[in-house]
Amino acid sequence: MKQYFFIIFILFFTFCGNSSAQETKIKIKIKGAENQKLTFAFYYQDDISVVKEFSLDKKGKAVLEFEEKLLEGIYLIIIPDVTYFDVLVSDNQQFELNTDIDNPILNMKFKNSPENKVFYDYQSAISDLMQTKMKLEEELSNTSDELKIKELEQQKTELNEEITKFWKDEITKNEAPFFTTLLKAMHVFEVPYSEYYDYVDFSEASLVRTPFFHNILGYHLATHIEKSPEEIIKQNDYLISLTKQDSVMYQYVTYYFLNRYKDICKFGINEVFVDIADKYFLNGNASWIQPEGIDVISRTADDYRYSMLDNKAYNFKALTTTGDSLALYDIDAEYKILFFWSIGCGHCEEAADSLRNNYTVLQEKGYEVFAINTDSQTIQRWEKYVKGRNYIWANGIDIVGNYYIRENYYVCSSPLA
């Protein structure tokens, strides 16, 4: 299972609901899997969460029963070391499925589950189209005849148009509303981002339990990541506002953003992280997070605040080439340039040379440089390197790998000034 930064309070979403008295009863028969042990699970984040392990009898039959209804989403039945297949769990949770271990998708039959029937009919049809596309691509890769290539490219273009028309027509049919919701979200990557919110219903919690929702949020993040922190925050706030109709969706999305912006190394993302922490976790309304988790978020956000505009810089001490410690606040200058770098970094060397070549001019304008080497095991090499390259400003080294310098100045890569 994947590890996350805030592992101490990672969300736990139970697989059963609490409000309905109607039980869940799924009858299963798989020819060729007699007496085998299977796993019933649902998709969550970029992994799966096991609901129950069960065994088929000597006739390949089993019944999955739960006193409460399962939360809606895409579940999967795993035949270890053999195969797996997906099952839609919607509002109707009393149905039967019958298939064959040799080709469970092609041979799948459902009783009393219109959603799953439409789901598997769609998979079968789209699979045929994709196989035709693969054959065309194989022909293209194996021919050098220009006329043939042109012909095959035209066929491929027409087939792509047919595939797109097919899934869009399926959405328009709307024969199974739950499946349609999933299908639209599944294809959001194939439409311009301007249509993003037309394809994804952020009030529909069932999307959380799918294999693609994690990537849907990633699509949003990647679309805006190069924008200003203010614009990223604006876009995040709008998306989150759409989730507030469902607490599970709201918790999932805010938690996803908190973790992702914690790990992205880019100028200004510290501001985005602090904004999410303050608005959605540190405002007293995140009772779904354990107190120790809130404490971790609070400490991390406070560390990041030091590197934000208009905030007081974090004071620290570093070992200098003279063997003494020098604190940032000990440097007497109107303006201070902190330069984080490491030996062996070509970009660091270029930046340092640029600083050295302009150092006199900077001093005349009231600037002073404090260069911090972020390597923790290279003190002798560092001393020799600094003297050899004539870095005459204040030089310090993070000999103990000072976590707070890195966090408080958002030093996620070097060079950084």
Report the C-alpha gap between 42 and 107 in whole angstroms. 22
Residue ranges per domain, the chain? 14-112, 120-175, 179-305, 317-408
Which two tokens mark 159?
A: 């087939």
Q: What is the pTM of this model?
A: 0.80
Q: How confident is residue 1, by pLDDT bands cut at 50, 70 and 90? A: very low
| Enclosing H/E stretch for 73 | strand 73-79
Cβ distance 376 to 354 under 8 Å? no
360-385 pLDDT tens trace: 999 999 999 998 888 766 788 888 88
Answer whether residue 310 shows pLDDT above 90: no
Superfamily of domain 14-112: Carboxypeptidase-like, regulatory domain (2.60.40.1120)
Place of tokens 């795993």: 78
| Enclosing H/E stretch for 295 | helix 291-305
Mean of the per-residue pLDDT values of the chain: 88
Query: Which is nearest to 325 in space by CA: 269, 236, 399, 405?
Result: 399
Question: What class does CATH assign to 317-408?
Answer: alpha beta
| Enclosing H/E stretch for 148 | helix 146-173
Answer whether residue 297 shows pLDDT above 80: yes
- The mean pLDDT value for 207-236 works out to 96
Q: pLDDT over 70 for what percent of the chain? A: 92
Report the C-alpha gap between 60 and 316 in whole angstroms. 67
pLDDT at 3: 36
DSSP per-residue string spanning 34-53: TT-EEEEEEEETTEEEEEEE
Place of tokens 């499925």: 97
Query: Which is nearest to 397 in space by CA: 385, 410, 413?
Result: 385
Whether omega before 177 lies within 30 degrees of 0, making that bond cis, reads no
125-162 pLDDT tens trace: 998 999 999 999 999 999 998 999 999 999 999 999 99
Q: How confident is residue 401, by pLDDT bands cut at 50, 70 and 90? A: low
246-288 pLDDT tens trace: 999 999 999 999 999 988 888 889 899 999 999 999 999 999 9
Q: How confident is residue 204, by pLDDT bands cut at 50, 70 and 90? A: very high
Report the C-alpha gap between 247 and 49 in whole angstroms. 20
pLDDT at 23: 86
pLDDT at 390: 85
Q: How confident is residue 403, by pLDDT bands cut at 50, 70 and 90? A: low
Which two tokens mark 86?
A: 């997906």
Which two tokens mark 131?
A: 């196989």
13-54 pLDDT tens trace: 444 444 444 589 999 999 999 999 999 999 998 899 999 999
pLDDT at 402: 60
Range of lowest pLDDT (61-70, 74-83, 215-224, 404-413): 404-413
340-360 pLDDT tens trace: 888 888 888 888 888 888 989
